[in-house]
Every structure is written in structure tokens, then in C-alpha cells.
A and B are shown apart, each in its own frame.
Chain A
């Protein structure tokens, strides 16, 4: 009875939020209970039934503002998930496409990462994969319809009921409230909410806690655990003071805004590979919304991490799509302070690299190709990007996903008689310094002759601007969208430095390094890559440049 009342209340809240015109919150992480849900793949519809009748396909207008919940689910059924943003799978930044056919039927089973439907747009007919395994409750369109955001409702089996996160606006309000309440303390007090709990509440739904613990769901507890947040300090906005996912994400927002970098390192380590990555039996490179091989920052000296990363990279080279959810999505849309200015760093131990280049530049293997410092910079960047893959990312056109690339296609800004060009070298992670020197030469010659091919200037994942090549020492680089970050290196200067004894002045080769993040719009700043991660990347790059022997240790 209590569970039924809770279900009805959740549905009412959801319908109320829909009626208020607020967008449906992003779906939660997919911890698919494959064992609990015996899903079988629907056989493709036969030709006659799948296609519209011959001749004209009636082009219907899109269904206005779909209302997902038309019937209340039975007590033992899992939560309904609405599949939105299917067009993101097309990779074209589309807002709408035409539905050609369904691969599933209402009442039938959808299987995660198996075909759900086929859409047609422009020149391509493309299968769209289901993000969930479960029962298809409602198909919101018919073949021939122009589809946009909402596609289908799927009832997922055996999942946590707590999925109604408040919309973004409410999350920001909660964040403001949390910030207001925190004062000088690091965390916002939450004692007022706990007093709302009824001592006799059994919390028998799912794994809800009883009276003297926070009323929330396992998903929220996991987030709290991963981010080392005491749940009792989070103000709950749900019924009976329940802490919703939106509450904890807004709390993380508030913490992040209050102290950049304090939680960023932890969050960077907990990047949603666990939240969004597929289960282990996923088909390789099957869907465009998740990958089978999670990316994790490499810990230097960790053999297991290195082996796992190598195996993952060998299996799948397609980018990892990291949907921007909760706090990260709020990061995209919120004004922040720390990411507004480029990050400046410097390397002051360049002597080893200077000496190394001096010894190598006359090697016959170069066959006349000039060996500059840039191949070393590129190789160091590729290794550092392997440790901090979030920096090697692109923002999706609709700004809802971060495409975290496994390949390092590094752009090199070149000033040519025809203007600035930023061609990129593909797969720097797999190239030797010698090969990079040769490829740089090819691109420079092509750029000078205005003969860069389309593939040379597309597909870049991170760029390096060498202001030093034209004599500059400092630079404030502009990010090359849709990449999220850029690095600029100045010229190497010979400057006096104090030796280790603090008294002796010695000459040292110094190079200035600056990094910048993608700016989404004139009024907003994007911090999908937080400053701490960028700073860590810069440190890693510097580490390889100052100790070029480390390149040998870590190069594949």
C-alpha cells in the first residue's frame, strides 16, 4: 500500500513537472539488471509490415509535447525511461529526422545497444540503438513522422525507483540554497530536513533507510560515496525530506563553485565511465552512446591500469561519449570563475630536451627533415592526454555530451601566407618522434601551398599553438572548437635561475606554456574540463618535457 502510494506520488510529481513545461531530467545511470529482465531481441520487422505502403509516405507533423505517463505502472514493474536525444547518435547535431521503421513493438522487448529504430536524414539511413533493456511501453511516433527529442518509453526492469531528479532550474535553486546555508562551513547543514522524517517511517520501498538515516536511493548513495559526501549534510527536496539525485548534484555544484579543485580531482577520477559505461558483455563499438572500454586516468607506475588501458585502446578506438549529466551539465551552463582565464605554466628544466635535440637533429634517419621541438611537444602531449583523456575531448554540437577520444589527433597551428591553418596529425599516440617530424613537414608544405586535404583539417582532438615559432614567449590561445582545450608554447628562452643551493645563479632554458578551455558563448563559460584536470595535464606534459627520457619509458 505504501509503495503504491509512493508510486502514485512520483507519477504525480513527474506529470506536474511536465505540465509546468520543464524538460524531463536526464536519465540515470544504466545499471542494467540483465538477470532480472529476460529481454529478447525483437526480430526485424518483415519488409511488408515495416515499411509504409508503397507510394507516398504520409508526412505527419511531430507530436506536440509528449506526455510520457499515460497509465500508472503496476506495482512490480520497473521505472519508465524516456529515450530522448536519440538524434545524438547520428553525430550530425540534428534536431529532427524522419522515422523510417521501428525495430521493436509496443509491448515487446528492447535490448540495450540493439537496434531500436531507423531514422533517415539527409543522405543516411541510420539505425538508432536502444539505451535500455526493458519493455517497450509506448512508441511516440509512426514511420514517416519527423521525430525530434522524445522517441520511446521503455520500462526498465529491476532498477531503482528514484529517477525523478528535479529539472535543472530547480537544481540551481537547490545549489543556491545549499550555498546560502553553508556559510563559512565547507558543507551545508541538513539537520532541519531530518526533523521532517517520521520516526515510524519504515521506508520499505526498495532500499530506503529507516527514520534515523537519510531517506534516499542507492543511486544517490553511490554518488555520495564516490564523492565522499555526508548525505546528512545535503538538503533534501523530495517528499519527507528525501534527498534526490538533483539535490546531491546541486550540492556538488555548490562545493565546486565554492572551492575549485577541491573536489575536482576526485570527480575527475570518478568520471562517468562507471556511470555511463556499458556492462562487460557489450558488443564492441556497438552503440554511439557508450563504449565497452572505459577510459580511466593512468596512474604512473600502475601496471594493471596500463595493461587495461592498452587492452581497451586495442579493442576500440572510437570516442567515448560521456553524456553531460547533473553537475557536469550544470557546469556547461553555469557561470564559473576559475575557468575564465587561461592557465599559465612554465617549464624551467628544458636543458635535457635541448641537448637531446642537438644530438638528434643531424641524424641521417631524418633525411633532411628539420627536427624542431614540436615533435617532442606532440609526443609529450599525447602521453599526457592518455593520463587525462578528458582534455582530449570534443563537446557535442548539442552540448549534452563530451566525446572523449581515444585517438590523439593533435592540431598544430600554422601561420601560412593564406592565413592561419590548424591541420592535425592523426594518431600521435602511435607515431614515433621521427614520424611526427615527417608528418609536420608534410603538413607545413601542404599548408604553405594551400593544399591541405579535408582530412588534414578535420578530426582534431586537441591543438598546440607554437607561438614560439614566430618569436613569442607568451600566448593566450583560443580553443579550436569543438575541442575543449588548447595549449600554446612560447619560444625557449635562456634565462638566469638559482641553482639548488639557492645562491648560485645558473643559466637555464625556460619555455612558457599556457592552456585555455573552450568558451561556449560570450556570456557563458564551459568547464566541462575542470581547472584541476587541466592543471594536472600541464604538469604531466611538463614532466615529459623536462625529462625526455620518460618519453622512452611510456611511449608505445
Chain B
């Protein structure tokens, strides 16, 4: 394990509950994560190997009409989901591996509950998994090999707890990635590259998907946690107890109507400007 990870270790005996999912729908997974964050006092590591239906997932304040080609997404029946964490927009499908780390602040007293320290902690955590396969590092807010991104960063920080989750691209479909617009705000290291040149499918670097998932689960014990397997029943109890849900499926028709309205407005403005001239 990277020596740096030893600098932020949990108190001995700190438990993390491991929830392993396979092919679980991403909307339900995000709702579960939010419930585990808001409605339980436990530490969790959630890992989901793929989601059955390709989807676009936006950050909590993402503007769909600015980030997604809505008509193309609608034509391909790709739903849009807004999650409860910050961060950018991703296209996910069966070749995406999702991880979420939910932590009580006192369980990692060496990690201050701010985005940067949390991200750095996860960099150290995941270095035990990716470090031996290449130049792995956290570059600005992205997990990269070299200058190519394979996973992003999104967080939610509450009074006593924080959640960090990421979607790791084992592989992706180029035509689905084309559903995303070029975001206005890009990391400096992207240097204006097209999205497909900027991201890296992990299968080009790592030999085995199954091994990757096992190693991600194993990184917690390496980091000093006691890992206990949990089941969906625990997740369901959290869902029932949670009163606040920021994760939701967006109404595509409403989004398209909004786009249409904006276009009408723009046309009207142009006509008015032309009349004035």
C-alpha cells in the first residue's frame, strides 16, 4: 500500500460495511447511497458492477440542456438521472464499475471533511489497486493514468459524514459518449481534448475486471478497516428511514419542452433584433 495511506488510518477496529451489487440499476443505487449517508451512522463501501440500462447521470446542479444532447438522448431512450452529489456528467452502462465510500468523520480523524482531503484520501486508498498498473494519480479532480481519465469524483458532505463516489470506466461505447456536450468548465489538463481522447477505458490497462472488483473491496482492509459484508436488506431499511432524496429521474419530455421554449425565445429575440435594425 502507498506509504501515504498509512498517514490517515482509522482507529483500530473501525468497521466498514461492504455492499456488493452486480448489475444493479444506477438510479436505485444512488438512492441507496444517499439513504446510507443520511439515515445510517455506519461506514459503507458500495460497489456495483455495471448498470443494466445505459443512463446519463448529472451532478446535483447540472443543467441538462447545457450538458447533454437531449434530443439524441431521447431518441435513444437514454434516461437522465440527477444525483445528490456535486460533480460532472457521466454516461454509464454495463461496463461501468461504481464505488461509493461513506464515512463517519470520526472514523478517519486524519481526513478533514473537505473535498480536497477526501479526494486525496481516496487517491491513497485506490493507489493500492491501480498503482502497480501504471502512472496512477489524482489529477485535479479525476483519477488518471498519465493524462487520461478513467474515473471522476463526486462528493456529498454533511454535518458528521461524507460520501465519495466514482464511476470507473471499464469500457464505454463511443456513440453513447457522444451524447455529452463539451462542458463549459474543463480541467486544465484536458487541454481542450475531445472527450474520447481524454478518457481511458480501464480494460486497456488492467487485465481482469473481476480482479479489479475484488481488489477494490480488498483496499479497505489494506487501509486498516474491518470489513463486514452487508445485504440489500440493510439498504432497504435505510431507504425507508431516509426522508430526503435528492436523486431523481428527470422528465425527458419536460426537458425537451424546455429546450423548445428556449429556442422559441431565441428566435423571438432574433426577430425583434432584426426588426429594430
Chain B residues with Cβ below 8 Å from A56 are 63-65, 255, 258
In this complex, how many residues of chain B approach chain A with their Cβ under 8 Å: the count is 56
What CA separation (Å) do A427 and B7 show in the bound complex? Answer: 8
Whether B270 is near chain A, meaning CB under 8 Å from some CB there, is no
Chain B residues with Cβ below 8 Å from A91 are 112-117
Most A C-beta atoms less than 10 A away, residue of B85, B112, B120, B245: B112
What CA separation (Å) do A94 and B245 show in the bound complex? Answer: 26
Would you call B120 and A125 a contact (CB within 8 A)?
A: no
Partner of A426 from B7, B59, B82, B254 at Cβ < 8 Å? B7
What CA separation (Å) do A427 and B60 show in the bound complex? Answer: 36
The interface bits of chain A over 316-338 (1 if a CB of B lies within 8 angstroms of the residue's CB, else 0) are: 11110000000000000000000
Would you call A318 and B105 a contact (CB within 8 A)?
A: yes
Would you call B141 and A126 a contact (CB within 8 A)?
A: no
Chain A residues with Cβ below 8 Å from B106 are 284-285
Would you call B116 and A92 a contact (CB within 8 A)?
A: yes
Whether A361 is near chain B, meaning CB under 8 Å from some CB there, is no
Whether B110 is near chain A, meaning CB under 8 Å from some CB there, is yes
Closest beta carbon of chain B to A337's beta carbon, Å: 35
Chain B residues with Cβ below 8 Å from A46 are 243-244
Interface segment, A193-201, A249-257, A455-463, A540-548?
A455-463
Whether B155 is near chain A, meaning CB under 8 Å from some CB there, is yes
The interface bits of chain B over 2-39 (1 if a CB of A lies within 8 angstroms of the residue's CB, else 0) are: 11110110000000000000000000000000000010
Chain A residues with Cβ below 8 Å from B61 are 57, 98, 100, 120, 144
Would you call A47 and B246 a contact (CB within 8 A)?
A: yes
Would you call A113 and B159 a contact (CB within 8 A)?
A: yes
Task: Enumerate B87-126 residues with CB–CB distance to A below 8 Å.
Answer: 87-88, 105-106, 109-110, 112-117, 119-120, 123-124
Whether B150 is near chain A, meaning CB under 8 Å from some CB there, is no
Chain A residues with Cβ below 8 Å from B65 are 55-56
Whether A137 is near chain B, meaning CB under 8 Å from some CB there, is no
Would you call A455 and B124 a contact (CB within 8 A)?
A: yes
Given contacts A129-B159, A286-B160, contact A55 B112 (CB under 8 A): no
**A-contacting residues of B (Cβ < 8 Å)?**
2-5, 7-8, 38, 59-61, 63-65, 82, 84-88, 105-106, 109-110, 112-117, 119-120, 123-124, 127, 137-138, 141, 152-160, 243-246, 248, 250-251, 254-255, 258
**Can you list 14 contacts pairing A with B, beta carbon distance less than 8 Å?**
A56-B258, A91-B112, A92-B116, A100-B246, A115-B158, A115-B159, A121-B86, A125-B59, A125-B156, A286-B160, A442-B3, A454-B137, A455-B5, A458-B120
Q: Could you list 15 further interchain pairs (A-B, Cβ under 8 angstroms) beyond the known A46-B244, A125-B60?
A: A43-B243, A51-B246, A54-B82, A55-B65, A55-B254, A91-B112, A91-B114, A98-B61, A114-B159, A120-B86, A123-B153, A124-B156, A317-B109, A426-B110, A454-B120
